[in-house]
Chain A
Amino acid sequence: MDDLFAPPAYAWQRLSPRYRSLRRLTTVLVAPILFSVPAVLVGVLTGLWWISAVLWSIATVIVLLRLSLVEKNWRSWGYVEREDDLYITHGVLFRSLVAVPYGRMQLVEVASGPLERSFGLATVSLRTASPETNASIPGLPPEEAARLRDRLTELGEAHASGL
Chain B
Amino acid sequence: MTLPPPIPEVPVPEVPAPVVPVPGIADVEVAPPVPGAPVVKQTERPHPLTPFIRGWILFVAIVIGWGQQLVPDGRDDGLDTSDLRQALPFVGALVLLAALTGLLSWYFTRFVIDDDELRLETGAVFKSSKRVSFERLQSVDIIQPLAARMFGLAELRIEVGAGDSTLRLRYLSRARATRLREYLLARAHGRSHRVDDPDLALPVSAFTDLSTDDSPLVKVSVARLVVSFLFSTEWLVTAGFAVVALVVTSFYGVVGYAWSGLIPLLIGVVSVIGRRVFAMYNFTLSESGRGLRVTRGLTNLTSQSVPVDRIQGVKSSQPLLWRLFGWYRVDVDIVGYAGGNGENNDSAASSVLLPVADAAEVALAVERVLPGFALDSIELHTVPRRARWVRWFDWWTLRYGWNDRALVTESGWLTHVRDVLPHAKTQSVRIERGPLQRRLHLADVHFDTPRGPVNVVAHQLDEAVARELAFSQLDRARSARRADQARAVAGSPGDSARDGLLAAFGTDRSQLLGAGSESEVFALGPDRVLRLYRERHEAPQQTAEQLRALYGSWAGNDIGVEVPLTYEVGRRAGRTYAVDRRFSGRGFSGWLATADRDERRQALLSYLDAVTALPLLPSPVPGFARLVGPGALRPYGSLADLLNVMLAGPVTRSRAAVERDLPEVAGVWQRLQADLAERQVSPAVVHGDICPPNTYLSQSPHGPVVTGIGDFSPHTLHADPVLDLTGSVAFLELETYPEAAADAAWLTAVVLERYGDSRAAAGDLARWIAVYRRFYGFYFSDSCLDQPELYRWCLEQLRS
Contact = CB atoms under 8 A, between A and B. Distances in A.
A85 B312 CA distance: 20
Interface in B408-435: 425-435
A84 interface: yes
A85 B335 CA distance: 22
A92 B430 CA distance: 16
A4 B471 contact: no
Interface size range of chain B in the complex = 20 to 34
Contacts of A4: 431, 433, 443, 463, 466-467
Given A84-B474, A85-B474, A134 B310 contact: no
B307 to A, nearest CB: 11
B728 interface: no
A128 B470 CA distance: 17
B446 interface: yes
Interface in A41-67: none
B477 interface: yes
Contacts of A135: 428
Interface size range of chain A in the complex = 20 to 34
A94 B430 CA distance: 12
A98 B429 contact: yes
B430 A101 contact: no
Contact of A161 (B312, B432, B443, B485): B485
B478 interface: yes
B443 A100 contact: no
A130 interface: yes
Given A4-B466, A129-B335, A130-B450, A163 B425 contact: yes
Interface string A113-135: 00000000000000011111111
B335 A133 contact: no
Contacts of B434: 93-94
Interface string A121-163: 0000000111111110000000000000000000000000101
A103 interface: yes
Nearest to B432: A96
A4 B437 CA distance: 12
Given A85-B474, A129-B335, A163-B310, A134 B449 contact: no
A122 B579 CA distance: 61
Nearest to A104: B427
B335 A163 contact: yes
A101 B450 contact: no
A40 interface: no
A95 B427 contact: no
A163 B474 CA distance: 16
B430 A104 contact: no
Given A101-B477, A163-B312, A128 B435 contact: no
Contacts of B470: 97, 99
Interface string B351-362: 000000000000
A5 interface: yes
Interface in B427-463: 427-435, 438, 443, 446, 448-451, 463
Interface in B475-518: 477-478, 481, 485
Contact of A133 (B427, B438, B477): B427
B588 to A, nearest CB: 25
A109 B46 CA distance: 42
B58 interface: no
Nearest to A135: B428
Nearest to A96: B432
B657 interface: no
B609 to A, nearest CB: 37
A84 B427 CA distance: 13
B162 interface: yes
Given A8-B471, A131-B451, A132-B446, A97 B430 contact: yes
B162 A163 contact: yes
Interface string A69-112: 00000000000000011000000011111111101100000000
A53 B446 CA distance: 44
Contact of B448 (A85, A94, A97, A133): A133
Nearest to A4: B463
Given A84-B478, A101-B477, A132 B432 contact: no
A129 B478 contact: no
Contacts of A101: 426, 428, 474, 477-478
B432 A95 contact: yes
A98 B162 contact: no
A85 B448 CA distance: 15
A132 B481 CA distance: 20
Given A130-B427, A130-B448, A132-B448, A99 B432 contact: no
B450 A129 contact: yes
Nearest to B339: A131
Contacts of B430: 96-99, 132-134
Contacts of A131: 450-451
Contacts of A103: 478, 481
Of listed A8, A96, A97, A100, residue having the most chain B CB within 10 A: A97
Closest 6 CB pairs of A and B: A130-B448, A130-B427, A128-B427, A133-B428, A132-B448, A100-B428
Given A96-B430, A133-B427, 9 more contacts: A4-B463, A93-B435, A94-B434, A98-B429, A103-B481, A104-B426, A104-B427, A132-B428, A132-B446
Interface of B: 162, 310, 312, 335, 425-435, 438, 443, 446, 448-451, 463, 466-467, 470-471, 474, 477-478, 481, 485
Interface of A: 3-5, 8, 84-85, 93-101, 103-104, 128-135, 161, 163
5 contacts: A85-B474, A96-B431, A101-B477, A104-B428, A133-B430
